[in-house]
């Protein structure tokens, strides 16, 4: 086991926060008896039937669906829009073209869509100087552009959202800072999830259930690539999908198997993964929302440590954490700088508190609010380990500020892709905060929320795009809003 794992007890960190939750156990330790003649043999017929059923499912998923008639068109692309799509116009209307860059003329296969036509580049007739060779992967929708161009496009995505959705003026739109680049352009992802198919690991193809086999994923960290290279997927019997989480700090990797049944049924799979260098394996039942049906430890460690900016954070293969630790760390340091200092700050949608821990150096007290039980438990463990004494974690969401006694002059929000709900924006408006740091993973919902807050009296300050996802069209935004007056009838003190 590599440095950083031996000194940690994988389950003790959550004992205080999980009194009502089922205790995670190592399935290999919970059944110390070796299988012998008294142990019932597995039902081979049922196992073979399951394998046959899975193969049939993959064959069915790979079969072509009802074909929509397509037309080959020569298109001149005007610009890139959200999703990394080129925007072109034809006699049939607007066409959004995958794989095309601004200024390029391409031959595209176009199919009609609801309100807009969808195209896929089949041939580049006149190439942009920004075009580069790129791998053909469903996880990379902007790799065909140079990295310098990617950063420029991502700034433009944010500016477009500010102009079109937030309805902000030219001066504010022009003031958006250049995109902060990721320290790494490749091999930056510390997590990946793959289908387990009879042919090996596979991506789930974009907009379909088809499986695209892969032997090499250039976006994931080298330690995960090593596991993928060594793994014999035939030993993952019964496993539908696998999630891997690596750490650049310690070099470790943990895995979560998505599969039905009990942990004991996957000891062979756990042994195979640990032989490939994985330090811990968990099991999650299949569910509509990933990992929502609970997670049980099969063997080894459930969590590993990763460096985000100035703090070390516990991460798992089943819990949320930003996938590019080095780039996310830069954004967290920036968010803490924008937050400033004071007696108290709130970190809403705070998860395990990575941003809050950066703010704790400059505030008398920081409260992290989130609804993710596991994330809160990891955060409590991490601050105990770090010796941080001015942070607390509470179960709740931003909308519950109405019913909460929590009041602070500074609030940081880092919501999911859907952005802030109406109730959350109402709660922020009624809070005692004069400064709001808004971190977003979706420029469109961020612009919607910012536009609403500005109409309520807030002023938008610094706006900086951050690139967490090189070779893709995704972009993060770190921004700050301020106001000089509190809502009427609000007379509170912080703390």
9 — pLDDT class (breaks 50, 70, 90): very low
pLDDT by residue (tens digit) across 36-52?
333 344 444 444 554 44
**Confidence at residue 40, expressed as pLDDT on a 0 to 100 scale:** 40
**Confidence at residue 136, expressed as pLDDT on a 0 to 100 scale:** 81
| Domains delineated in the chain | 12-38+189-303 (2.40.50.1070), 324-482 (3.40.50.150)
Catalytic positions: 441
**Confidence at residue 292, expressed as pLDDT on a 0 to 100 scale:** 80
**Confidence at residue 51, expressed as pLDDT on a 0 to 100 scale:** 46
pLDDT by residue (tens digit) across 264-320?
999 999 999 999 999 999 999 998 778 887 899 999 999 999 999 999 999 999 999
pLDDT by residue (tens digit) across 351-360?
999 999 999 9
Q: How far apart, in whole angstroms, are the C-alpha atoms of residue 447 and residue 420?
A: 11
Whether the pLDDT of residue 34 is over 70: the answer is no
pLDDT by residue (tens digit) across 134-166?
988 888 999 999 999 999 999 999 999 999 999
- Check residue 314 and give left, alpha or beta (phi > 0: left; psi -120 to 50: alpha): beta
Closest CA to 116 of 91, 96, 86: 96
Which residue carries 């070099």 as its tokens?
251
108 — pLDDT class (breaks 50, 70, 90): very high
Q: How far apart, in whole angstroms, are the C-alpha atoms of residue 474 and residue 321?
A: 16
The answer to whether 297 touches 11, Cβ cutoff 8 Å, is: yes
User: Both ends of the chain: CA-CA distance in Å?
Assistant: 44
Q: Which of 194-198, 203-207, 344-348 has the lowest mean pLDDT?
A: 203-207
Closest CA to 85 of 230, 207, 216, 173: 207
Whether the pLDDT of residue 23 is over 90: the answer is no
**Confidence at residue 490, expressed as pLDDT on a 0 to 100 scale:** 56
* CA atoms 270, 274, 275, 277: torsion sign: positive
Mean per-residue pLDDT over the chain, rounded: 86
Whether the pLDDT of residue 325 is over 50: the answer is yes
Q: What is the DSSP secondary-structure string of 99-112?
A: T--TT-EEEEEEE-
Whether the pLDDT of residue 238 is over 50: the answer is yes
Q: Element (H or E) spanning 454, and its range?
A: helix 443-455
**Confidence at residue 213, expressed as pLDDT on a 0 to 100 scale:** 80
Q: How far apart, in whole angstroms, are the C-alpha atoms of residue 324 and residue 182?
A: 8
Mean pLDDT of 64-90: 87
Q: How far apart, in whole angstroms, are the C-alpha atoms of residue 49 and residue 47?
A: 5
Q: Which residue did the predictor score with more confidence, 40 or 477?
A: 477
* CA atoms 271, 275, 281, 283: torsion sign: negative
Bridge partner residues of 307 (DSSP) = 312
């Amino acid at each position: 086991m590599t440095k950083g794992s031996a000194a940690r007890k994988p389950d003790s960190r959550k004992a205080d926060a999980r009194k009502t939750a089922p205790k995670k156990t190592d399935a290999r330790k919970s059944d110390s008896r070796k299988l012998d003649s008294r142990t019932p043999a597995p039902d081979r017929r049922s196992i073979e039937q399951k394998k046959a059923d899975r193969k049939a499912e993959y064959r069915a998923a790979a079969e072509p669906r009802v074909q929509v008639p397509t037309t080959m068109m020569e298109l001149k692309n005007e610009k890139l829009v959200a999703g990394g799509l080129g925007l072109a116009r034809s006699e049939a209307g607007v066409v959004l073209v995958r794989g095309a860059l601004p200024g390029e003329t391409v031959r595209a296969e176009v199919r009609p869509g609801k309100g807009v036509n969808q195209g896929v580049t089949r041939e580049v007739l006149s190439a942009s100087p920004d075009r580069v060779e790129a791998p053909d992967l469903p996880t990379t929708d902007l790799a065909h552009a140079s990295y310098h161009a990617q950063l420029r496009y991502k700034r433009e995505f944010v500016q477009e959202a500010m102009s079109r959705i937030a309805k902000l003026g030219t001066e504010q739109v022009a003031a958006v800072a250049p995109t902060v680049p990721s320290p790494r352009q490749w091999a930056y992802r510390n997590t990946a999830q793959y289908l387990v198919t009879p042919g090996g690991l596979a991506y789930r193809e974009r907009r379909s259930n088809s499986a695209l086999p892969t032997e090499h994923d250039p976006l994931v960290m080298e330690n995960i690539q090593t596991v993928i290279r060594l793994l014999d997927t035939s030993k993952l019997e019964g496993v539908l999908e696998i999630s891997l989480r690596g750490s650049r700090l310690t070099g470790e990797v943990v895995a979560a198997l998505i599969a039905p049944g009990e942990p004991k049924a996957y000891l062979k799979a756990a042994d195979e993964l640990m032989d490939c260098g994985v330090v811990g394996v968990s099991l999650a039942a299949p569910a509509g929302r990933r990992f929502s049906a609970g997670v049980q430890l099969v063997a080894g460690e459930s969590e590993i440590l990763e460096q985000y900016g100035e703090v070390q954070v516990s991460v798992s293969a089943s819990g949320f954490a930003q996938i590019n630790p080095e780039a996310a760390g830069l954004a967290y340091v920036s968010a803490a700088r924008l937050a400033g200092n004071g007696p108290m700050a709130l970190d809403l949608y705070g998860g395990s508190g990575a941003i809050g821990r950066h703010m704790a150096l400059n505030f008398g007290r920081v409260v992290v609010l989130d609804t993710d039980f596991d994330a809160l438990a990891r955060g409590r463990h991490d601050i105990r380990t770090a010796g941080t004494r001015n942070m607390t974690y509470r179960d709740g969401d931003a909308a519950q500020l109405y019913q909460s006694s929590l009041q602070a002059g500074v609030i940081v929000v880092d919501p999911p892709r859907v952005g802030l709900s109406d109730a959350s924006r109402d709660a922020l408006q009624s809070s005692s905060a004069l400064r709001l740091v808004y971190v977003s993973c979706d420029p469109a919902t961020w612009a919607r929320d910012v536009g609403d807050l500005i109409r309520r009296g807030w002023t938008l300050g610094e706006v900086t795009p951050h690139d967490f996802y090189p070779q893709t069209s995704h972009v993060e935004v770190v921004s700050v809003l301020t106001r000089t007056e509190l809502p009427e009838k609000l007379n509170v003190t912080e703390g």
